[in-house]
Amino acid sequence: MCAVNVVSHTSRHDLASLRAAVLGPLRAEVPAMEAALAAPPTRGRRSTPAEAARAEPGPPGRAAAGPAAGPATEDPARAAKRELGAGYLQSLARGLTVLRALGTPGEGEEGGGARHGRTLTAVAETTGLPRATARRSLLTLVELGYAEYAAADGRAFRPLPRVLELGYAPLGDRSFTELAQPHMRELVRTVHESASLAVLDGDDIRYVARVPTVRIMSVNITIGTRFPAYATSMGRVLLAGLDPGERAAYLAGLDPTPLTRHTVTALPELARVLERTGRDGYALVDEELEEGLRSLAVPVRGADRQVVAALNIATHAGRGSAAAAVEELLPALRTAAARIEADLATASAHHPLGAGERVGA
């Protein structure tokens, strides 16, 4: 089914010493791996042999017995086709939906979809597709090498490693900012305000990505622009993400200067602001960095749920109240951050994006 290996640098082992050091422990682990792969998942009620014979098709060439059952819900691809028209490729959408369903356990399956296969009925119920449509997609995936029959009787299907070609390798080669940019552009299209991404760099924030609309600051912000963390929404989100000891050390060494008449510079008040930011999950800065500038920021977390960056929207302070800005902009901002986090988690699973390597690079 697969292979497992141990890799060592030649400065540590030659062939003989590597074999002597690791072959025994490696072989000792294999039975536990095989047992884990072979263990059946906990499932719900199994179909009787008669039900299975009526319900499931065999390999290509074997006709399915009995009438095809309709989908539990409307085919989502058909609904999207009605909305988007000729530009929407319905057959591709259905095939990708079926492929996703192969790795999605149904009720009571506990991950069994990928290991032990999913039946046609389960795939059709998960996707909302007609059984005939789901079957054509499954047989196509088998023919192209993205899926296989999970058993000789052809009644269940499971994905093959070739599915990794569809996304993991290309996504793993993309930088953190490349992952974030499409979601930032969509955020700007939604709220019609500029969006930026920054990381903490010493006592400052450093801009690593930006999608502008209309310039509203006197300074021209570019990639690499730095501002004091204490006076910015992104800085406060990043500082709130530090552990308490690091945050206390930052405040102890801080000598803040007022950048506008609104800038918070009293250390006790700044400490309370950072605590509130951590509790609320966002920071609002109103004319503290520059007169007329209002900024709202949320954290972006890595796969380990640690704050690795901050995402913000900047708007003019004269456009309504601060409370109205939060109500209007925060949902879209959080949605964009969640989508960046999802892509970051997927990419990190294939190729870790460390703070020093990719985030902010």
Question: What is the rounded distance in angstroms from the CA atom of residue 206 to the CA atom of residue 201?
Answer: 6
Range with the lowest mean pLDDT among 68-77, 131-140, 236-245? 68-77
Pick the more confident residue, 142 or 2: 142
Within the chain, which residue ranges are assigned CATH 1.10.10.10? 67-163
CA separation, residue 274 to residues 248, 286, 302 (Å): 11, 15, 20
Beta strands in the chain (DSSP E): 118-119, 147-149, 156-159, 194-201, 204-211, 226-228, 283-286, 293-301, 307-316
On whether the CB atoms of residues 236 and 285 are closer than 8 A, the answer is: yes
CATH 3.30.450.40 is right for the domain spanning 171-350: yes
C-alpha torsion sign, points 111, 129, 133, 167? negative
| Residues found in the chain | 361
**pLDDT at residue 48, rounded to an integer:** 35
Range with the lowest mean pLDDT among 9-23, 106-120, 166-180? 106-120
pLDDT > 70: what percent of the chain?
Answer: 75
pTM, to two decimals: 0.54
Q: Tell me: the pLDDT tens digits for 41-59?
A: 544 333 333 333 334 444 4
**pLDDT at residue 223, rounded to an integer:** 84
Q: Which fold has domain 67-163?
A: Arc Repressor Mutant, subunit A (1.10.10)
Within the chain, which residue ranges are assigned CATH 3.30.450.40? 171-350
On whether the CB atoms of residues 80 and 93 are closer than 8 A, the answer is: yes
Average pLDDT of span 349-359? 49
Helix, strand, coil percentages, rounded to 5, for the chain:
50, 15, 40
* Paired residues of 149 in beta bridges: 157
Label residue 287 by pLDDT band (50, 70, 90).
confident
Question: What is the rounded distance in angstroms from the CA atom of residue 327 to the CA atom of residue 40?
Answer: 48
pLDDT over threshold 60, residue 173: no
